A and B are shown apart, each in its own frame.
Chain A
Amino acid sequence: MTRIALVVDDAATVRMYHRQILHDSGFDVSEAANGYEGLEAAIAQRFDLIVVDVNMPLMDGYEMVTQVRREGLNRTTPIVMVSTELDADDKTRGYTSGATAYLGKPVPPDVLESVADALTQTLP
């Protein structure tokens, strides 16, 4: 079965960039342009992977992930948070809100690909 990913970022070009990498890895990709739209997508459909930016208007990544983890279809879905902010506090905040992985932006294609594969591997 094809894996489905949700990419959440306010920048269309970043969504396209992540989409391309994940698509090449065999994912079907849905997009959302801010944390609130991401939350709407996450309550409507179960994804195999969510890639979410931190700094977005209306609702940021921390808030979105916190809400997604609260209940519903994607409570345990692997979530990769991406951000330009990489100090220990930011990472802690990301993990506390429920991120599975926290990567620096821009993510090199091979890094995103291997993290996505590692997090969505189904055990035999």
Chain B
Amino acid sequence: MAIVKRTTPTPDATTDAAQIAQDRRSGTRDIDGLLLQLQKPDSDARRWAALDLGGEPAAVSALAARLAFEPSRPVRDAIVTALVETGGEPVARALAAHLHSEDAAVRNAAVGALALIPATAELVPSLLDDDDPDVRVLCVMVLASLHDPRVPGWLLGVIEHDEDANVCGCAVDVLSEVGEADMCDALAALPGRFPDDPFLPVAVRATVVRLGGVIS
């Protein structure tokens, strides 16, 4: 039969894994060495280096900086994994800066990461106040996945005050999932703020119904 048991151990097997775990626990990771690896031409090496820098506050700015021009999708994702593992407000700030990036892939990576970091919540009010409506839309996209009981309230603030119809439309959509029944009146008032928008009345109607409200 050709189903055979492997007799030789995997290369880099348990010694590699055990060593990495040990280095992390005792704080003896070679941060500088790993940061150098992050610049190597071999994408696999960069990927492992990024993962090994997870949970390391000293590596946050280098990792966040690398995200801006890392061409490999798996490496970008590994950087996100590492930054999410570290977490905390400095990481959230570094990622929030990328919401202004010209590069859609970088913005997307930042949105994905921010949604997984609880500390992002501290930045939400200022992001929702950003002059750039594109940034505000991205913030609403983060709110669509962020776990925080303040999310519905923030979204309510958007539909009551934001001056951009598109930002409001995004907020309505998220509210159709996380909104509260007592927000139906505020929702119903929204299309009146943007009378030329063909989409908002449809979105509001669907959301109000979804929240168990009544359409007048």
Binding site for B on A (CB under 8 A): 10-14, 16-17, 20, 54-60, 62-63, 84-85, 105-106, 108-109
Contacts A106-B169, A106-B197, A109-B198 given; does A13 touch B203 at CB 8 Å: yes
Contact for B199 among A12, A17, A55, A85, CB less than 8 A: A17
* B170 within 8 A of partner (CB): yes
- A sample of 19 cross-chain residue pairs with beta-carbon separation below 8 angstroms, ordered by A number, consists of A10-B141, A11-B169, A11-B170, A13-B169, A13-B207, A20-B202, A55-B104, A57-B108, A57-B112, A57-B141, A59-B108, A60-B108, A62-B104, A63-B104, A85-B134, A105-B166, A106-B198, A106-B199, A108-B198
Among A17, A63, A108, the residue within 8 A (CB) of B105 is: A63
A17 to chain B: which residues have CB within 8 Å?
199, 202-203
Q: Choose from B104, B138, B173 the contact partner of A14 (Cβ within 8 Å).
A: B173
Give CA–CA (A11, B170) in the complex, Å.
Answer: 7
B206 located at the interface, meaning its Cβ lies under 8 Å from any Cβ of chain A in the complex: yes
Is B173 a contact of A12 with CB atoms below 8 Å? yes
The size class of the interface chain B forms with chain A is 20 to 34
Main secondary structure of the interface of A (DSSP, over half): loop
- 6 further interface pairs, Cβ-Cβ under 8 Å (given A14-B169, A54-B104, A106-B197): A11-B173, A16-B202, A57-B108, A57-B141, A58-B112, A106-B200
* Alpha-carbon distance between A62 and B107 when the two chains are bound, in angstroms: 13
Provide the residues of chain A in CB contact with B108, threshold 8 Å. 56-60
- Cβ of B199: which chain A residues have Cβ within 8 Å of it? 13-14, 17, 105-106
- Does chain A have a CB within 8 A of B43? no
Q: Report whether A60 and B203 are in contact in the complex, using a CB–CB cutoff of 8 Å.
A: no
Judge whether A60 and B104 touch: CB under 8 Å.
yes
Query: How far is B183's CA from A65's CA once the two chains are assembled, in angstroms?
Result: 37
**Chain B contacts for A11, CB-based, 8 A:** 169-170, 173
> Which chain A residues lie closer than 8 Å to B166 at the CB level?
84, 105
Considering only CB atoms, which chain B residue lies closest to A13 in the complex? B203
A14 to B171, CA, bound (A): 12
Q: How far in angstroms is the closest Cβ of chain B from A87?
A: 12
| Residues in chain A near residue B144, CB distance under 8 A | 10
CB neighbours of B134 from chain A (8 A): 85
Whether A12 and B198, one on each chain, are in contact in the complex, defined by CB atoms closer than 8 angstroms, is: no
Complex: how many Å from CA A55 to CA B142?
Answer: 13
A24 to chain B, nearest CB (A): 13
Please indicate the chain B residues that have their CB under 8 angstroms from the CB of A12 in the complex. Answer: 173, 176-177
A13–B197 Cα gap in the complex (Å)? 14
What does the 1/0 interface line of B190-216 toward A look like (CB < 8 Å)? 000000011110110011000000000
Tell me, yes or no, whether B75 is within 8 Å of chain A by CB: no
Residues of B with C-beta under 8 A to A63: 104-105
* A13 CB contacts on chain B under 8 angstroms: 169, 172-173, 176, 199, 202-203, 206-207
